[in-house]
Amino acid sequence: MSQRDPLSSPAEVGDDVPHVLVVDDDDGIRRLLARYLRTNGLMVSVARNAAEASKVMDGLTFDALVLDLMMPGEDGISMTRRIRAVSDVPILILTARGDSKDRIEGLEAGADDYLAKPFEPRELLLRLQGLLSRRSRPGRAEEIRFGPNVFNPRKGELRRDGEPVRLTGAELTLLRTLSAKPGAAIDRAALAEKTGGFDRSVDVQVTRLRRKIEDDPRVPTYLQTVRGIGYALIVD
């Protein structure tokens, strides 16, 4: 594409190397991240805005996305919602410093993690590596059943009434963590550490996951709140 950065061409590495798409209208940030992430062994493509990113994604498959929330045209929140409707690719959002409203809105839209600007490239790399490792990490081999839901931790697959259910990276990590100790109350801080977020983000992920596994998310049967502790997954 003629409008893409010169730095958007993938590095010449093997097919097993994760491919990351960085979407930000700031030329400096795009170039910095592309150079830094490639130096640390990742394939990187870049886009200036959501429209350009959509064209890039039509022809390439990515292992993770880095999206700026404040972009001209379609913003990062809207783009995250649109991507989540069709894909569970890990999404890390970049937000304005101290703007908790944007962070929460991004997580509710389906993002897996966030990072406030200005940031250290090293921290972004570590957060990306965490998202990628949680996505590929195998869990327990057996299937776990709770009501109409069947979850295979090893494959990271959830089915409800026989139909596949899309999970974000954070939702998958949350479900794997809870299913490793079925019926046991798992501390919110421990869940936050596992999912790479904070206590409030765990609540957001739980709310989103309940919408996918519960008959009535307002009166959960399977993913229950344990007052004063955290959450527990009640299985058959």
Indicate the helix (H) or strand (E) that contains 152: strand 149-152
- For domain 6-136, is the CATH number 3.40.50.2300? yes
Output the average pLDDT for the chain: 84
pLDDT of residue 99: 67
Average pLDDT over residues 5-24: 62
pLDDT band at 188, cuts 50/70/90?
A: confident
Contact criterion met (CB below 8 Å) for 158 and 165: yes
Average pLDDT over residues 82-100: 82
String of b and e for 181-198 (b: at least 16 CB within 10 Å)?
A: eeeebbebeebbebbbbb
| pLDDT top residue among 229 and 210 | 210
Residue ranges per structural domain of the chain: 6-136, 144-233
pLDDT band at 199, cuts 50/70/90?
A: low
Average pLDDT over residues 203-208: 92
| Helices and strands in the chain, H and E counts | 8, 12
- What percent of the chain is predicted at pLDDT more than 70? 87
| pLDDT top residue among 232 and 3 | 232
Tell me the one-letter amino acid at 229: I
Topology classification of domain 144-233: Arc Repressor Mutant, subunit A (1.10.10)
The pTM is what? 0.62
pLDDT of residue 98: 59
Contact criterion met (CB below 8 Å) for 77 and 52: no
In tens, the pLDDT along 46-65 reads: 999 999 999 988 888 889 99
In tens, the pLDDT along 105-123 reads: 888 888 888 888 888 999 9
pLDDT of residue 65: 95
